[in-house]
Structure 1
Amino acid sequence: MDRSFVVHAPRQTGKTTGLRTLASELTAEGDIAALAFSCERAKVAGDDVGWGESILLKSIREAAERSGWPKKLLPPDPWPEATPGTRFGTGLSAWCRRSRRRVVLFFDEIDALQGSSLVSFLCQLRDGHNARPDGHPFPSSVILCGLRDVRDYKTAVGADPGRCNPTSPFNIVTDSLRLGDFTAGQIGELYGQHTEATGQEFTKDAVDRVFELTQGQPWLVNALAHEIVFKMGVTDAVTVARVDEAKERLIRTRAIHLDSLAARLHEPRVKRVMEPIVAGDLYTDSALSDDLSYVRDLGLIKQKPPLEVANPIYREVILRVLGDASQQNVRADPRSFVLPDGRFDLPRLLEEFVVFWREHGEVLIRQENYHEAACQIILMAFLHRLVNGGGYLDREYAAGTKRLDVLVRWPYTGPGGERLVQREAMELKVWRAGKDDPLTEGLAQLDGYLDRLSLTTGVLVIFDRRPEAPPWKDRGAFEEATTPSGRQVTVLRA
């Protein structure tokens, strides 16, 4: 104790549950009165420092009363009067003066505080903490818990996040801790608790698939299991097929966690990071490092290089959200692309896309907010509209790859009644102004992708974004090409 920390992690990763559990355990030891409470209601105060202080103090008292503590541990009622800008610190000091235990406070949803209210709050925490060695009563330790690191709070109030000032109100934390994601083993242990309680097993392959899809993101791990057991009503052993079905249902219904992430995509700070990732371009602007930290704290991208979306579920949600407007313009009937033998007619889909691209491409590109990734987003929207009714789309993309890899998986019934899966691989490239034709590079990259998938053929789509590109009415030429290893592939120049 006697230290202050920032704990940060994306939404719905167990922060609040963890804080409440820790507070209960510390209080039960008998020497500490540890209280976790939410700052969320103080968001409405904005720059009104006095109002913000009143809301925070009221939230603390209500949380303490709900805790079931004896009266001698509760904060004063009423809180002492003081000048706005000092009320919060004065109130905490009065509480600590009368408390027989050391007071420890966990400020959940600290991100809710903004502007002057945030600065005043941090200043009062710092002043109180620094006065403790002189006998001034004050909480012995605090945890500030939210989405962001304290570095980003500086940005929120217009301070320079890169400067270290020992007198700064932001200089109050000993360490910044980030809650981690589950490992594959921890997912197995978590699901194993369900098996022990109910007898319902998650197969090892299903657990591995959950980890592959979520990369251990806690909300997704729990949401998939909840969808399978309670929403889908599965009572037998949970298989990979059930996990994939649950994933589709979560994405299709845009569960609240996924919807809140999707809403962030058009924030300028998020767009500056996400656009080159979706487009496959290099992220080269070092001046945007604070944006990068912000997007990492949101959980949208992985914590360590290379720059990639955090997990396959987020990856799919992002492209679906960005492609919503384009998808509304796709009029083709998905059922018409199913062949008599049950397979998917990919050549016809490509031909239909050419017609769609010539008619709508120019307008949709101008309207697309993620302009540099517009071609990829539009084709993904077209594929999603026509494939996802009976099949699946797997997408791979990351900044610096200069590509977007797509795998169409189409289940169908074979002539003998067996269940089969048709797989079709595509790679998307963009020919930009001042650059060489990406055909050679694309064929080599597609070759590697096909090799990894053990497929003998595929499709390379090259979008021409140069000023000297052919007129729109002439775009959409098909040609056959050979990859470095001798695979015959189809090239579509759009």
Structure 2
Amino acid sequence: MLPPTQRLPQARELIEMDRYFVLHAPRQTGKTTALRTLASELNAEGDTAALMFSCERAKAAGDDVGWAESLLLDSLREAASRSGWPEKLLPPDDWPRVTPGSRFGAALSEWCRRCPRRLVLFFDEIDALQGNSMVSILSQLRDGHNARHEGHPFPTSIVLCGLRDLRDYKVASGGEPDGSNPASPFNIIRKSLRLSDFTAEQIAELYGQHTQATGQEFTKDAVDRVFELTQGQPWLVNALANEVITEMEVSSTINIAQVDEAKERLIRARATHLDALVARLHDPRVERVIEPIVAGTWPGTDTSFDDDVSYVHDLGLIRGTRELEIANPIYREVLLRVLGDRTERFVKADPHSFILADGRFDLPRLLQEFVVFWREHGEVLIRQEGYHEAACQIILMAFLHRLVNGGGQLDREYAAGTKRLDVLVRWPYTGPDGERLMQREAMELKVWRTNENDPTPDGLAQLDRYLDRLTLSTGVLVIFDRRPQAPPWKERGGFEQATTPSGRQVTVLRV
């Protein structure tokens, strides 16, 4: 385990300054571990009583403020009783009996009045609070924070830990989403803290601890591959290593091929963390952001879209709020697989029938079979697909996945505004002399939309650049015609040869 507090150097500084602030990050990134460790360090110094407790129970209370307060105070007391603190630091035996809506703030004041140390509280899973309960609790924290200047006893520092960024708490606690409003304690700092993902060096350090403990090593290529696949997402970094060591029972040095196999196993198993992300895909706020990324189109520009982007970023699904890209290759693959589930059920072709006598994969035949599939099912599948703008890309990806993934792999690249989706088919096979070889086939997907020019020239140039990166001499450009004047469905699916700007001979498929 990496030293948790080293990932949050600013947190300690803000606590020493008696600040109230927000720590946010996607699930399974180490927030709880970091705060638990920070609380232990503060308690060991002797002048602070630092306590972390979970707000998760209060989710059941919904808008019932009094019930939410009771559940939070129960969680607070139980966490304090488990802390091993001496009696003088514990909360009072009875909380003050005051009107619901004031009980939580009054309870914290009474505790601070009796406690001989400065009290620091970490509200873990603060997102569990709902509606009026969230507003009430944050308002009480605001009032208590402001009353400290008049000598009123109240916690010296409070940290709200959850998925949400600062803006949401400012609004809920009575402040403005932007600018400074002294009525909200969460306007004290302009930006909340975000627990970052691991760097490549941190992954190497983490895996190095395993090597020191067991003697089992990771090759440098394997560590680099983990960073490439996960972009440092902590749960994925740990899950890949656990899959190789525990589930696959690899006892020798861990190499890049085993990391790739572990990645496939995790995705197929749809581990809990991945399933939690998948469950969000049909949330309208998530769909508004993810759909243009998959489709390669330009997203909306209104302020509500900016809010959606921040929300999806806080979930950990996208890398940043400016360049709209899926957070890492594993998530990128999971999203398209899940969105293509319905299409895969329509694919009846036998994957083994596409393997040639020499062991290579017959991509030209697959594309011919896709034409037949598209003519028969494309119109229906597009109508059924929730992500309507990205339907063509999702359907072809599902078709490829169904027929390639048994023996090969698909690498996908897509981002908002690119107007394309890049696909690389990787198919391992055995050469005539018994050597292990890798067949690579590149494809570029484009959509011809209403009131747009034929995307073929742009597509050929983009495919050229993609082939340059891959050092391949040929590829396939697939153009989906979504215009009203497109040919009838039964007539779609023409193949032609074309030349890219650099002189490569490529195949163009129009469907």
Structure 2 length normalisation: TM-score? 0.94
**Matches of 2:106 and 2:406 in 1, distance apart?**
61
Task: Indicate the residue corresponding to 2:100 in structure 1.
Answer: 84
Task: Indicate the residue corresponding to 1:493 in structure 2.
Answer: 510
**Matches of 2:282 and 2:299 in 1, distance apart?**
18
Task: Indicate the residue corresponding to 2:244 in structure 1.
Answer: 228
Instruction: Pick the aligned partner of 2:202 from 179, 183, 186.
Output: 186
Instruction: Pick the aligned partner of 1:49 from 50, 65, 72.
Output: 65
Q: Report the count of equivalent residues.
A: 494
Instruction: Pick the aligned partner of 1:210 from 207, 212, 226.
Output: 226
Cα deviation, residue 373, structure 1: 0.2
Runs ≥4 in structure 1, deviation > 3 angstroms? 153-166, 168-175
Cα pair distance change 1:122/1:172, threshold 3 Å: farther
Please state whether the residue corresponding to 1:290 is helix, strand or coil.
Answer: helix
* 1:443 equivalenced with 2:490 (yes/no): no
Q: Summarize deviations over 1:347-385 as a string: whole Å, max 9, x none.
A: 110011001100000000001000000000000000000
1:4 touches 1:174 (CA, 8 Å); kept in 2? no
* 1:237 equivalenced with 2:237 (yes/no): no
Cα pair distance change 1:97/1:106, threshold 3 Å: same
Q: Summarize deviations over 1:88-144 as a string: whole Å, max 9, x none.
A: 001011111111111100000011111110111011101111111222111000000
- What does 1:63-462 align with in structure 2 at a 5 Å threshold? 63-153=79-169, 161-162=177-178, 165-168=181-184, 171=187, 175-287=191-303, 288-303=305-320, 305-462=322-479
Cα deviation, residue 166, structure 1: 3.5
Cα deviation, residue 260, structure 1: 0.5
Please state whether the residue corresponding to 1:264 is helix, strand or coil.
Answer: coil
Q: Summarize deviations over 1:210-255 as a string: whole Å, max 9, x none.
A: 0100111111111111111111101101100011000001111011
Instruction: Pick the aligned partner of 1:484 from 486, 497, 501.
Output: 501
**Matches of 1:192 and 1:92 in 2, distance apart?**
44
Cα deviation, residue 436, structure 1: 0.5
**Matches of 1:229 and 1:183 in 2, distance apart?**
22
Q: Summarize deviations over 1:452-476 as a string: whole Å, max 9, x none.
A: 1011111000000000000000001
**Matches of 2:279 and 2:32 in 1, distance apart?**
22
Identity of aligned pairs, percent? 77
**Matches of 1:65 and 1:13 in 2, distance apart?**
27
Task: Indicate the residue corresponding to 2:9 in structure 1.
Answer: none
**Matches of 1:13 and 1:153 in 2, distance apart?**
21
1:5 touches 1:174 (CA, 8 Å); kept in 2? no
Structure 1 length normalisation: TM-score? 0.97
Cα pair distance change 1:80/1:172, threshold 3 Å: farther
Q: Summarize deviations over 1:257-288 as a string: whole Å, max 9, x none.
A: 11101111111111111110100011242321
1:122 touches 1:169 (CA, 8 Å); kept in 2? no
Please state whether the residue corresponding to 2:53 is helix, strand or coil.
Answer: strand
Per mean C-alpha deviation after superposition, the further-off stretch among 150-159 and 279-288 is 150-159
2:230 touches 2:330 (CA, 8 Å); kept in 1? yes
2:138 touches 2:173 (CA, 8 Å); kept in 1? no
1:126 touches 1:172 (CA, 8 Å); kept in 2? no
**Matches of 2:189 and 2:83 in 1, distance apart?**
26
2:297 touches 2:417 (CA, 8 Å); kept in 1? yes
Cα pair distance change 1:249/1:190, threshold 3 Å: same
Cα deviation, residue 152, structure 1: 2.8
**Matches of 1:399 and 1:62 in 2, distance apart?**
47
Task: Please give the root-mean-square deviation of Cα atoms over the aligned residues, in Å.
Answer: 1.5
Please state whether the residue corresponding to 1:5 is helix, strand or coil.
Answer: strand
2:39 touches 2:52 (CA, 8 Å); kept in 1? yes
* 1:28 equivalenced with 2:40 (yes/no): no
**Matches of 1:363 and 1:158 in 2, distance apart?**
49
**Matches of 1:441 and 1:202 in 2, distance apart?**
42
Cα deviation, residue 150, structure 1: 2.6
Per mean C-alpha deviation after superposition, the further-off stretch among 155-164 and 36-45 is 155-164
Q: Which structure 2 segments of 5+ residues have no match?
A: 1-15
1:271 touches 1:370 (CA, 8 Å); kept in 2? yes
**Matches of 2:173 and 2:131 in 1, distance apart?**
5
Cα deviation, residue 153, structure 1: 4.2
Task: Indicate the residue corresponding to 1:4 in structure 2.
Answer: 20
Aligned residue type for 1:443: L
Q: Summarize deviations over 1:285-332 as a string: whole Å, max 9, x none.
A: 232111111111111111253211111001001101111111111111
